[in-house]
Structure 1
Amino acid sequence: MKSFLHKLFLSLSALFIISGCAALRNSSNPLTSIIKASVDLKNISDDKVLITITPTPINSDKINFYIPQIVPGTYEYSNFGRFVENVQAFDNKGKVLPIKSIDQNTWEISNAKKLIKVTYLANDTFDGPYGKEIYPMGGTNFDKDNTFLLNLHSMIGYFEGLKEISYELKITSPKSLSPYTSLPIISKSDTLDIFNAKRYFHIIDNPILYTEPNSITFDLDNIKVRLVIHSPSNNHKAEDYQSAMQKMMIAQKKFLGNANKTPTYNILLHLMGMKDLRYFGGMMGALEHHTSTTVVFVDQMQPGELTQSLIDVVSHEFFHTLTPLNIHSEEIHNFEYNTPLMSKHLWMYEGTTEYFADLFQINQGLIDPANFYNRLTQKIDRSQRFDDTMSFTEMSSKIVDEPYQSNYANVYQKGALINMCLDILIRELSDGEKGILSVMKSLANRYGEDKPFKDDDLINEIVSLTYSEVDDFFKTHVEGNTPIDYLKYLSKVGLTLGETLSPVPGGILFQSPQLPFFEMMENELGVNQYVVSGLNSTLEKIGVKTGDVFLGLDGKMLPEIKKENLEEISSVLNDTFMWDADKEFSISIKRNEEALTLSGKVGTPSALLKGVIEDSNASNEAISLRNFWMLK
């Protein structure tokens, strides 16, 4: 996913920041047939929405009705049928037809030739026993009369053999709310909106955000971009973010050139409260769609922090308009929502987009080289937390199952680094003239939105566009299980690994990436405490010392350090992720039995870390290749 994900979650010892059914013939002409779906957002009871689905005529005695088990971009089983209840089928006289639950996502309807409609209630995913298992950016939030975040894959189902039939979607909603989506709208009034979709895929590929008007639009050559924000506090206005988003996306479009051809792109930003953030265990992020993205962050973020988070997340998501929108396999084009076959190429769908999200920023002058090198350092560091000997193509094709699912987040780390190495290798072999972007542009021209490639053929096609050494790299490091020697490729562009003063990801809570400034220790009475074990520049500046006992932040004191208090501990620490550089804060500590309160500005916490740096002994040829790689 992303898909690009951030996860803020405190454990007791560390804090982490973290993307085939048989066809049934339809008795009417599929070109003129239409499945009708209606959603009632006005008359909500107990956070449940009434859904009605009216199929085309059925000519079999039985038919299955499905809610997706898995959807594109999530790469894990979600089982959205868990959020549906009271599924009923009716004939044209209002008589209930026999219906049987086959599993939590499938219902078998008997006497299906008489079927006129299916009705059911859909729960949202922002509460309840199962909602926290769904990424918030891939779920639904029914906040009556205030906002509705509708990822339709958790609400609208499909019939066996009828996924290619067009859909008409009617939504009744409160008068005060407006719909924002890339789904074509054919009729609109104060309380009724009617949309159409070419097939079921276009239903689930076009989320809708109902909210009070708070949006801006701008043009990127031939692409119309819209940013809409739901902010519970009304503190975040879309116009306040236009300049930064427009600057970033203009740079993206310039980087992509004519490889991007989507006419519209909607950024649907749903800001949730701290209660929701705690419910999801700190999970935030975005879920890609072909012409839009759903983004969920927390309303308490400072404008500067939200701006940077939007840039980092949306830049990744927008590159999905290149892949998988224009470059994707048959497994994605003909996605099976309840019996999935996964593609082998997550290194491209997520890895290439993540790599481009960093590369374009140095290429277009949005960040300096030190920032770019630091991003590469973080990816190398984070990739070491995963199985470095796992075949990436095997992991991708089996990603929904263990042990592969536990390694999914590596697609944003090692997946991006695979693309970095390929890019440098192709640049070297072409004397700087070609890179991974030119390869992707060629593939986009060869294929496109409606022309998928065969999964087993992609690597051979890439090799045909490049060099035999690229084939060796794929066989060894992507299909094979040999870890990559990143220094080998970095040295080709005059870079090496060494110590450098670098910003610490995660802010003041960290002394180095993924390592908090404190660790849990027992005192002489056997009581757990958080003891300062390392410092970043901010903590050092205000006078914190190793060995101090960490007691609290900004007047909020830590409870007893035990598992039962994990949520309360998190509530003390999670606010720091919303702090910007100008925030004045205080930290409570105990030193030699004396309680102290130290204070200062957050600033930009940094530390001396091992990372990617420029090699002072690099050759002119390596420096020249570096400039081609980063700047051309």
Structure 2
Amino acid sequence: MHISKFSHSNFFFLFFLNLALSSLIRAQSAGSAEAYKVKEDLNALSEDAIPVEIWLPKVEDSLAVYQMPKVVPGTYKVHNYGLFVRDFAAFNEAGDSLPVQKLSINSWQIKRAQELHRIQYWVDDSYGDERGRPIFAPSGSSNEEEVFLLNQFAYIGYLEGYKNLPFELEIAHPQGFFGSGAWPAERSDTLDHYQFPSYFLLHDNPMMYCQPDTSSVWIGNSKVELSLYSPNKTVNADTTMALIEAVLQASAEYLGGSLPVDKYSILIYCQSDLKGDFSYGALEHHRSTVLYMPEVDGAIFYEGVRDIVAHEFLHIITPLGIHSEYIQDFDFANPEMSRHLWLYEGVTEYNSHLVQVRDSIYSKEEFLEVMRDKFFANDQYEDLPLTAVSKHTLDIYHDQYQNFYEGGAIAAMALDLYLIEISGGGMRLMDLLNNLSAVFPADTFFKDEDLFRIMGELSFPQVETFMVRHFEAGEPFPWERLFANVGLDYSDEGKTMGWSIGTDELSYDLEQDRFLVTNEEGIDSFGEALGLKARDQIISINGDTLNLFSFQTVLADFQGTLQEGDEVVYRVARPKRNDKFRIKRLKTKAFKVEYDESHLLKWQEEASDRQKAWRKIWLAQ
């Protein structure tokens, strides 16, 4: 689910070609032999489904196969969008039915294809689906009376062998609805027309139709537009944009001060059912990103949007810019995975936080805490080579994919620190990415197996060895040395004194919307002083309600302001029989506890001038 990122010459060529040919394509008949014409009717919504009608290019063979995507770029997970298609039918120009056979979840074979003129079917949305079909929400679809989130790959497929033909898309929509998105459209009150030169560009441009709540800013030479759907009006576009504008500006500066597109669109769909699907996050595209977020006001929403947008925005560097052959010509039906998801997701995730510390949105201490959290998360996964996990992320290692945002990010940090070390402060990771972008602009690609060699050629020969040893062979990174170069002491394990919340074993009760103490073993000396018991559900700490969405803020306030001897008051719900609870007030005086800690990082008080200089090169602080 979160961008300095490079020539997008081919993309700009297609964009301006689209504008130049727009009127010509619009004039073509529905049965054009060289294009698809698609109609989606949002007004015909019925039981969370909409009808799709497609006039097809001329087919010469007797058989044709219509294909819906199995996987889409950026998700690295099998979703099988054909699952949501029903009542599929094919017709000739006279309106007679043609024989259709469903070959697989995602494909339909049409016989007498020389006569094929039109197909039609209904598409159910993924958000309303209750049949156990897990779809990463930002890559899903919503068909509701108040909002339509249209990731077009969930609605439209292509004929095998005809994927790269133009698509003309017509969307009929309720009056008062506006279709937000980055791609240009010819609009009227109830009907919009889009022209896409290929299926890839159709799939790459999501849209959201609803009563408009939008806000925009200029970032360098580009207009960034944010469109937000909040069913209960809990959050709004103007406030959200005001709180993320700084990170957008910081990301643009990290990219060199300008963006490779004239317009960038941020689509935010807020989910009001906070006890439902928790697959919050985002999916990147060349000119836009889709966010699926909880509808809650406050830091959990705005900080979440800020960090996610920074990540997705910086995907402009990779894979939307730098990428291998498997991204360049993506196979929607049977994709082959690259060995370099560490680059596409890990480097992007690292950069999304690095830009914030370099622009002083984070302090250097806050940045270290973010990266330490990634060390902790990485410890929960198997110790496997990043390239192997990447290559087999759809099958053998599908349960390891999330670690590219954790272990992949700290691997990117290790590479950044190594480049500073080996260059004597003359090269950072961003410099190497710029070199790669110059050799492999967005309309070209590198061969998957050649990347480490190329990285060495564009920086230092030792870099190839570093990548092979640590990214391909899985050898641990030399963290003590790398951190020492910038004035940090690092320890794998140690002991520390700090404020505790009484236990390190918490779970969550979705029904009660409360954290609970999982077991007695996790209760420490502070928890014992409070009187915490296993299965206690924590309602509040010092009067601040604790739940899934306030957890980070409440703990930061609690631990950031506490002094030795302060009174600490918890309200807990202690379970009784028959699923009932007794509300109890627990209190004690604050004191620090000693606990085992891992991945300890501490700034050296007597750092050398060279260490300070290299730290400045790394963090700009």
TM-score, scaled relative to structure 2: 0.83
Q: How far apart are residue 534 of structure 1 and its match?
A: 5.0
> 1:545-569: per-residue Cα shift (whole Å, max 9, x none)?
44465046379xxxxxxxxxxxxxx
**Aligned twin of 1:318:** 313
**Aligned twin of 1:209:** 208
Q: How far apart are residue 323 of structure 1 and its match?
A: 0.9
1:393 corresponds, among 384, 387, 393, to: 387
Pair 1:104–1:501, CA change in 2 (3 A): farther
> 1:494-549: per-residue Cα shift (whole Å, max 9, x none)?
21236667899xxx7x955xx42799xxxxxxxx9844655799x979x8444465
- CA distance in 2 between partners of 1:228 and 1:533 (Å): 47
1:628 corresponds, among 602, 617, 621, to: 617
Asked if residue 483 in structure 1 is aligned to residue 476 in structure 2, the reply is: yes
**Aligned twin of 2:26:** none
**Aligned twin of 1:550:** 536
> 1:356-399: per-residue Cα shift (whole Å, max 9, x none)?
011111111111111011111111111111121x2211221221
- CA distance in 1 between partners of 2:258 and 2:191 (Å): 37
- Tell me the SS of whatever aligns to 1:296: strand
**Aligned twin of 1:414:** 407
**Aligned twin of 2:585:** 598
**Aligned twin of 1:425:** 418
Number of aligned positions between the proteins = 563
**Aligned twin of 1:16:** none
1:278 corresponds, among 275, 278, 296, to: 275
- Tell me the SS of whatever aligns to 1:261: coil
- CA distance in 1 between partners of 2:64 and 2:132 (Å): 29
TM-score, scaled relative to structure 1: 0.82
**Aligned twin of 1:559:** none
Pair 1:432–1:552, CA change in 2 (3 A): closer
> 1:587-617: per-residue Cα shift (whole Å, max 9, x none)?
32459999553389xxxx9997543221345
Pair 1:319–1:511, CA change in 2 (3 A): farther
Q: How far apart are residue 271 of structure 1 and its match?
A: 0.3
**Aligned twin of 2:343:** 348
- Tell me the SS of whatever aligns to 2:44: strand
Pair 1:32–1:53, CA change in 2 (3 A): closer
> Which residue identity does 2:68 align to in structure 1?
I
Pair 1:585–1:502, CA change in 2 (3 A): closer
**Aligned twin of 1:330:** 325
Q: Percent identity?
A: 28
- CA distance in 1 between partners of 2:379 and 2:552 (Å): 27
- Tell me the SS of whatever aligns to 2:280: strand
The answer on whether the counterparts of 2:221 and 2:259 sit within 8 Å (CA) in structure 1 is no
> 1:300-329: per-residue Cα shift (whole Å, max 9, x none)?
x12332110111111000000111121111
Gaps of 5+ in 2: 4-28, 510-515, 559-567
The answer on whether the counterparts of 1:459 and 1:471 sit within 8 Å (CA) in structure 2 is yes
Structure 1 window deviating more from structure 2 (238-247 vs 481-490): it is: 481-490
> 1:387-446: per-residue Cα shift (whole Å, max 9, x none)?
21x2211221221002x1111011111111111111111111222121110111122222
Q: How far apart are residue 487 of structure 1 and its match?
A: 2.7
The answer on whether the counterparts of 1:533 and 1:546 sit within 8 Å (CA) in structure 2 is no
When the two chains are superposed, the root-mean-square deviation of aligned CA atoms in Å is: 3.4
Q: How far apart are residue 97 of structure 1 and its match?
A: 0.4
The answer on whether the counterparts of 1:548 and 1:589 sit within 8 Å (CA) in structure 2 is no
The answer on whether the counterparts of 1:517 and 1:533 sit within 8 Å (CA) in structure 2 is no
> 1:139-182: per-residue Cα shift (whole Å, max 9, x none)?
011111x1011111111111101111111111111112110011
Pair 1:41–1:591, CA change in 2 (3 A): closer
Q: How far apart are residue 331 of structure 1 and its match?
A: 0.8
Pair 1:260–1:463, CA change in 2 (3 A): farther
The answer on whether the counterparts of 1:536 and 1:607 sit within 8 Å (CA) in structure 2 is no
- CA distance in 2 between partners of 1:326 and 1:536 (Å): 49
The answer on whether the counterparts of 1:259 and 1:441 sit within 8 Å (CA) in structure 2 is no
**Aligned twin of 2:160:** 160
- Tell me the SS of whatever aligns to 1:42: helix
The answer on whether the counterparts of 2:517 and 2:533 sit within 8 Å (CA) in structure 1 is no
- CA distance in 1 between partners of 2:531 and 2:605 (Å): 34
The answer on whether the counterparts of 2:507 and 2:518 sit within 8 Å (CA) in structure 1 is no
**Aligned twin of 1:179:** 179
Pair 1:131–1:278, CA change in 2 (3 A): farther
Pair 1:425–1:98, CA change in 2 (3 A): same
The answer on whether the counterparts of 1:533 and 1:547 sit within 8 Å (CA) in structure 2 is no
The answer on whether the counterparts of 1:439 and 1:462 sit within 8 Å (CA) in structure 2 is yes
The answer on whether the counterparts of 1:229 and 1:269 sit within 8 Å (CA) in structure 2 is yes
**Aligned twin of 2:440:** 447
- CA distance in 2 between partners of 1:379 and 1:410 (Å): 9
**Aligned twin of 2:24:** none
- CA distance in 1 between partners of 2:569 and 2:36 (Å): 56
Alignment of 1:17-416 (within 5 A): 33-130=34-131, 133-144=134-145, 146-185=146-185, 187-257=186-256, 260-274=259-273, 277-280=274-277, 282-299=278-295, 301-388=296-383, 390-402=384-396, 404-416=397-409
> 1:42-68: per-residue Cα shift (whole Å, max 9, x none)?
011111110111111111111110110
- Tell me the SS of whatever aligns to 1:438: helix
> Which residue identity does 1:438 align to in structure 2?
D
The answer on whether the counterparts of 1:179 and 1:211 sit within 8 Å (CA) in structure 2 is yes
Q: How far apart are residue 192 of structure 1 and its match?
A: 0.7
Alignment of 1:609-624 (within 5 A): 609-610=597-598, 611-616=600-605, 618-624=607-613
Gaps of 5+ in 1: 4-27, 520-527, 556-571
Pair 1:96–1:591, CA change in 2 (3 A): closer
Q: How far apart are residue 189 of structure 1 and its match?
A: 0.8
- Tell me the SS of whatever aligns to 1:351: helix
Pair 1:616–1:273, CA change in 2 (3 A): same
Q: How far apart are residue 447 of structure 1 and its match?
A: 2.1
Pair 1:392–1:365, CA change in 2 (3 A): same
> 1:257-293: per-residue Cα shift (whole Å, max 9, x none)?
157412221110000112xx4332x221111111111
Pair 1:452–1:486, CA change in 2 (3 A): same
Pair 1:330–1:214, CA change in 2 (3 A): same
> Which residue identity does 1:355 align to in structure 2?
Y
> 1:10-63: per-residue Cα shift (whole Å, max 9, x none)?
xxxxxxxxxxxxxxxxxx9xx982211111110111111101111111111111
- CA distance in 2 between partners of 1:174 and 1:490 (Å): 57
- CA distance in 2 between partners of 1:620 and 1:502 (Å): 31
The answer on whether the counterparts of 2:490 and 2:602 sit within 8 Å (CA) in structure 1 is yes
Q: How far apart are residue 484 of structure 1 and its match?
A: 2.5
> 1:462-495: per-residue Cα shift (whole Å, max 9, x none)?
1111112211111111111323243332222221
- Tell me the SS of whatever aligns to 1:451: coil
Alignment of 1:419-568 (within 5 A): 419-497=412-490, 515-516=505-506, 530-531=518-519, 534=522, 544-547=530-533, 549-551=535-537, 553=539
The answer on whether the counterparts of 1:167 and 1:196 sit within 8 Å (CA) in structure 2 is yes
- Tell me the SS of whatever aligns to 1:45: coil
- CA distance in 1 between partners of 2:47 and 2:507 (Å): 44
**Aligned twin of 2:571:** 587
Pair 1:71–1:131, CA change in 2 (3 A): farther
- Tell me the SS of whatever aligns to 2:43: strand
- CA distance in 2 between partners of 1:387 and 1:64 (Å): 40
- Tell me the SS of whatever aligns to 1:293: strand
